[in-house]
């Protein structure tokens, strides 16, 4: 984790293309359903592994909860 969840939530935000987000600090809580377990929480650095998992469960029909864009074409990251 790079920022505390509180600091991430209150930080300035910017929207980025999800494919360009690896290494950025995530701002939202993202949870595919099923299974309903958060993959990224505010303040975490986005990894290639997390991104690949999210895109694969989305392709399999999982609903994405917590993201401003549930289709994951873009996501919110901390603009620090």
**How far apart, in whole angstroms, are the C-alpha atoms of residue 61 and residue 57?**
6
Mean local confidence (pLDDT), 49-71: 93
Q: What six digits make up the tokens of 19?
A: 């494919």
pLDDT average, residue stretch 40-59: 95
13 SS3 class: strand
Kind of pairing, strands 31-33 and 63-65?
antiparallel
The pLDDT of residue 39 is 94
Return the pLDDT at 47: 96
Nearest to 8 by CA among 29, 27, 31, 22: 27
Q: What angle do CA 8, 11, 12 make, to 5 degrees?
A: 135
* Domains of the chain with bracketed CATH: 5-78 (3.90.100.10)
């Amino acid at each position: 984790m790079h920022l505390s969840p509180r600091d991430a939530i209150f930080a300035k935000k910017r929207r980025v293309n999800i494919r360009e987000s690896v290494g950025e600090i995530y701002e939202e809580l993202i949870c595919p359903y099923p299974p309903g377990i958060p993959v990224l929480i505010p303040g975490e650095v986005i990894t290639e592994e997390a991104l690949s998992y999210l895109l694969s469960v989305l392709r399999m029909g999982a609903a994405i909860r917590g993201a401003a864009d549930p289709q994951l074409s873009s996501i919110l990251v901390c603009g620090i």
